[in-house]
Amino acid sequence: MLFMTYYPVDIGQAIRKECSRRNYSKKTAKIYVNCVERFLNWTGKTIDVVSKKDVSEYLFHLSERGRSGSTLNVYHMAIRFLFEDILRKNIKLNVRYSKVPLKLPEVLTKEEVKALIGAITNEKHKLMVELMYSAGLRVSEMLNLKVEDINFDNNYGFVRQGKGNKDRIFVLSDKLKPKLMKLIGDNGREKEELIFISNLGKKYTTRSIQKIIDKATFNAGIEKNVHPHTLRHSFATHLIENGYSVNEVQALLGHKSPETTMIYVHLATPNMIKIKSPIDSL
């Protein structure tokens, strides 16, 4: 059994407070709280008597239910965070699960990206979709872009406080540069203002962007399940196909490790990444 000397009255509040202190995102804190609460509810025990065995059995339970390796990793990290960072106890679980998703993400071909963009008639909506694809931006990153985040003189921009609260640089397309400058100039945007604002003067929502993409996907006759993140997957895959290295793509996507970026090597077409079948050398 694990015997603790400190037990917070409100576990959820303690996790959120520690996540905030470590500058973790609110989303991460919410996930950790949810995972820990589910774990404790499953054990039916109070925090002062829960054991290392309970943790191992719960992870095995999730595995038996068909949860992916990535999901098991999240639960493992959340429970470890509870014991090591909240309760100051080291449970020393030597459990590792693959982070590689069971299913590769869907990507669009270059022709499909062109068709998707061409199916959008509203110029501002089209520019938002073009920017997400051209720079590999998450939808939230695109929606939070401010005028001051773009360096037009040197053709790059900054993602401020992206996933994991990290800043990173993205490339600014030569084709999109004049479109962005015109949008900003025509609307008299100040440097601290958002670049993309609806006609009602409000910030766009993720759902509104999804609707734009859904309509364009239908009108373009694309039979794939396309969502905003599909554009980011497509951006990375097409860069690999164009001959850029995994390390270069990793930096542009803001991934912590090259292993995460390697998935796009598997998605790129074999001839473009210069892979030849061994039978060709027989």
On the question of pLDDT at 67 being above 80, the answer is no
For residues 167-174, give the mean pLDDT.
Answer: 86
Q: Which domains does the chain have, with CATH numbers?
A: 11-86 (1.10.150.130), 110-267 (1.10.443.10)
Report how far residue 95's alpha carbon sits from residue 155's, in angstroms, rounded to the nearest whole number. 45
For residue 251, with 0-12 CB atoms within 10 Å meaning exposed, 13-18 middle and 19 or more buried, which class applies? middle
Report how far residue 126's alpha carbon sits from residue 24's, in angstroms, rounded to the nearest whole number. 33
Name the least confident of 32-36, 53-57, 162-166, 223-227: 162-166
Kindly report, residue by residue over 195-219, the tens digit of the pLDDT.
999 888 889 999 999 999 999 999 9
Kindly report, residue by residue over 106-121, the tens digit of the pLDDT.
889 999 999 999 999 9
- Nearest of 131, 135, 107 to residue 117 by alpha carbon: 131
In degrees and rounded to multiples of 5, residue 61 shows phi and psi of: -60, -45
Percent of the chain beyond pLDDT 70?
80
- Residues with catalytic function: 138, 163, 229, 232, 255, 264
Give the per-residue pLDDT at 147. 92
On the question of pLDDT at 3 being above 50, the answer is no
On the question of pLDDT at 2 being above 60, the answer is no
Token readout for 123 is: 């110029």
Name the least confident of 2-11, 28-37, 85-94, 113-122: 2-11
For residues 236-261, give the mean pLDDT.
Answer: 77
User: Residue 33: which residues within 8 A CB-CB, separation 6 or more?
Assistant: 11, 12, 15, 16
For residue 26, with 0-12 CB atoms within 10 Å meaning exposed, 13-18 middle and 19 or more buried, which class applies? exposed
193 φ/ψ sector (left φ>0, alpha ψ -120 to 50, else beta): beta
Question: Pick the residue with more confidence: 137 or 96?
Answer: 137
On the question of pLDDT at 266 being above 70, the answer is no
Going by pLDDT thresholds of 50, 70 and 90, the confidence category of residue 122 is: very high
Find where tokens 């590689």 sit: 100
User: Residue 81: which residues within 8 A CB-CB, separation 6 or more?
Assistant: 15, 18, 32, 36
Going by pLDDT thresholds of 50, 70 and 90, the confidence category of residue 74 is: confident
Give the per-residue pLDDT at 80. 87
User: Residue 228: which residues within 8 A CB-CB, separation 6 or more?
Assistant: 132, 138, 139, 206, 209, 210, 213
Dihedral sign from CA coordinates of 267, 270, 274, 275: positive
- Nearest of 90, 95, 48, 63 to residue 76 by alpha carbon: 95
For residue 94, with 0-12 CB atoms within 10 Å meaning exposed, 13-18 middle and 19 or more buried, which class applies? exposed
